[in-house]
């Protein structure tokens, strides 16, 4: 049996060793998660715990090494091996999941083992009948005893497998899976700060993991290698290599992600995606609409101009329902000041309330609805945003089928595709924000370290330098009022 496991995992392990040589961390991660790890998962479901232990141990070590190399780190972070619902990367190790995976596939596992190894049929049957003296029974019991107490207590003894029917075995497997996941999560969070734990909590919210599940078939569906590494650092709350060791700079990059002047990059990226989704749903969409609002209530006449300048990101009209809707998207950092692990969407919902108050003050056009489309820096979404995506997905699905079951299935698939595209656009934009911030910080520190004369020359604004070099020989004129840069 050990030789069988080694033979089945030899080629996947050889492929895994070549992944860091691809020079594309996103493609390599997708191959690892979608293609290679499921091969080991199948073996776990059909082979009793304790079988092929040496090969599985080598497999886990190689997975950790590969992830560390893809992310450019000395060792793989524990949080990478958390499932999506816990804020991780959806990876896993055989050492944590062998026993519960086999228990969930108990009957299938025993049948497959008997099929592949007829000589073990009697021993496996004896294990099912509770013969703890059999080699397989002892292996199962040893594996169970190696589990943490909280995990082992939720699973029946392997000598009792024969008394479990299919349903009870599945139920026991589910309970054990949850116990294993809880144990792995507690172990991963052991050395994290409160903010990092909060970031993981946000990464576990709906929509946050969508970008990791997108198959990078086309260029528009993928992140570059550097963007992917930055996105993983944002998701797991890890310091960025570009910001690590820089004095006076938050290595997690959270300060740049919530700066209004820089967050406009991510805002505009999402605005384009929402616009394309609205058009795909068959709606007539117009971007950056102004002139819909009057003056703010209870303000002086000078506020009229301010009211007229209130613009919505998109005005959409649905020809099937005749409904006119205004949307305005926003991004909030849920890990900022005031964020709470017990209520991870608190800051995002607060930002949504401000948007609603701004655009539903009674000065807008009559008969129009307003939908705030909110996202967090981790990719998490509000219920309002998810509802808007669901309605758009349903409109697309209804154009292709009249069958209710097909529409329901396609609606979920299309909504998930929308979430994937939004997640990719958000992470791509935030990665560029991190890179530009790192370059600006490095330049500022370089200028500060220069002698006084050279410092003045290097810190001169580009506009003044260009003005002196031009034909006029003077300074670049400042923008006039109402004619900003």
Contacts of 160 (CB under 8 A, 6+ apart): 130
Confidence of residue 44 (pLDDT cuts 50, 70, 90): confident
Position with higher pLDDT, 276 vs 162? 276
Mean pLDDT for 317-325 is 87
Q: Say yes or no to pLDDT of 60 above 60.
A: yes
Please give the pLDDT value at position 437.
87
Per mean pLDDT, which range of 21-30, 200-209, 357-366, 392-401 is the poorest?
357-366
Q: Which of 50-54, 402-406, 450-454 has the highest mean pLDDT?
A: 402-406
Confidence of residue 167 (pLDDT cuts 50, 70, 90): low
Mean pLDDT for 201-217 is 91
pLDDT tens digits for 410-424?
999 999 999 999 999
Q: Say yes or no to pLDDT of 224 above 80.
A: yes
Per mean pLDDT, which range of 294-308, 320-334, 414-428 is the poorest?
294-308
Confidence of residue 71 (pLDDT cuts 50, 70, 90): very high
Please give the pLDDT value at position 484.
38
pLDDT tens digits for 436-482?
888 887 777 666 665 665 555 555 555 444 444 444 444 444 443 34
Mean pLDDT for 352-358 is 89
Q: Which of 104-113, 120-129, 286-295, 463-472 has the highest mean pLDDT?
A: 286-295
- Rounded to the nearest integer, the mean pLDDT of the chain is 79
Q: Say yes or no to pLDDT of 276 above 90.
A: yes
Confidence of residue 483 (pLDDT cuts 50, 70, 90): very low
Q: Which of 6-10, 387-391, 463-467 has the highest mean pLDDT?
A: 387-391
Q: Which of 117-121, 150-154, 361-365, 403-407 has the highest mean pLDDT?
A: 403-407
Mean pLDDT for 116-138 is 48
Please give the pLDDT value at position 288.
86
Confidence of residue 151 (pLDDT cuts 50, 70, 90): low
Q: Say yes or no to pLDDT of 33 above 80.
A: yes
Q: Which of 213-222, 347-356, 461-470 has the highest mean pLDDT?
A: 347-356
Confidence of residue 146 (pLDDT cuts 50, 70, 90): low
Q: Say yes or no to pLDDT of 212 above 60.
A: yes
Please give the pLDDT value at position 467.
42
Please give the pLDDT value at position 133.
38
Position with higher pLDDT, 101 vs 254? 254
Confidence of residue 234 (pLDDT cuts 50, 70, 90): very high
Q: Which of 1-10, 78-87, 336-345 has the highest mean pLDDT?
A: 78-87
């Amino acid at each position: 049996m050990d030789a069988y496991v080694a033979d089945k995992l030899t080629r996947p392990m050889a492929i895994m060793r070549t992944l860091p040589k691809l020079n594309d961390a996103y493609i390599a991660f997708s191959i690892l998660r979608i293609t290679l790890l499921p091969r080991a998962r199948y073996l776990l479901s059909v082979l009793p715990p304790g079988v092929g232990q040496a090969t599985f141990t080598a497999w886990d070590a190689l997975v950790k090494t590969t992830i560390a190399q893809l992310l450019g780190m000395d060792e793989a972070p524990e949080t990478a091996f958390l499932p999506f619902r816990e804020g991780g990367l959806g990876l896993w190790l055989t050492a944590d999941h062998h026993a519960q995976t086999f228990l969930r596939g108990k009957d299938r596992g025993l049948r497959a083992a008997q099929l592949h190894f007829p000589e073990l049929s009697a021993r496996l049957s004896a294990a099912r009948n509770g013969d703890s003296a059999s080699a397989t029974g002892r292996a199962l019991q040893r594996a169970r005893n190696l589990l943490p107490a909280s995990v082992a207590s939720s699973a029946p003894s392997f000598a009792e497998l024969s008394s479990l029917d299919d349903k009870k075995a599945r139920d026991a497997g589910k309970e054990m899976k949850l116990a294993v996941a809880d144990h792995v999560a507690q172990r991963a969070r052991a050395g994290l700060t409160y903010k990092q734990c909060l970031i993981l909590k946000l990464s576990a919210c709906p929509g946050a993991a969508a970008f990791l599940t997108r198959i990078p078939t086309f260029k528009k569906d993928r992140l570059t290698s550097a963007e992917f590494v930055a996105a993983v650092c944002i998701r797991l709350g890890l310091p960025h290599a570009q910001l690590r060791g820089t004095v006076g700079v938050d290595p997690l990059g959270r300060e740049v992600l919530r700066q209004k002047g820089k967050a406009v990059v991510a805002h505009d990226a999402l605005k384009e995606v929402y616009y394309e989704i609205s058009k795909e749903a068959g709606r007539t969409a117009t971007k950056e609409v102004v002139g819909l609002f009057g003056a703010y209530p209870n303000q002086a006449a000078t506020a009229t101009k301010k009211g007229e300048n209130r613009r919505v990101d998109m005005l959409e009209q649905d020809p099937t329902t005749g409904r006119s809707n205004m949307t305005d998207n926003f991004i909030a950092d849920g890990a900022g000041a005031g964020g709470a692990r017990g209520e991870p969407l608190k800051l995002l919902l607060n930002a949504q309330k401000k948007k609603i108050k701004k655009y539903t003050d009674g000065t807008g056009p009559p008969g129009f609805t307003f939908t705030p489309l909110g996202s967090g820096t981790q990719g998490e979404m509000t219920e309002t945003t998810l509802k808007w995506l669901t309605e758009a997905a349903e409109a697309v699905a209804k154009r292709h089928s009249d069958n209710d079951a097909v529409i329901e299935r396609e609606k979920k698939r299309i909504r998930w595709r929308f979430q994937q595209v939004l997640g990719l656009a958000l992470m791509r934009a935030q990665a560029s924000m991190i890179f530009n911030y790192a370059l600006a910080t490095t330049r500022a520190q370089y200028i500060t370290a220069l002698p006084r004369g050279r410092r003045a020359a290097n810190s001169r604004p580009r506009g003044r330098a260009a003005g002196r070099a031009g034909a006029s020989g003077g300074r670049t004129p400042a923008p006039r009022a109402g004619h900003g840069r």
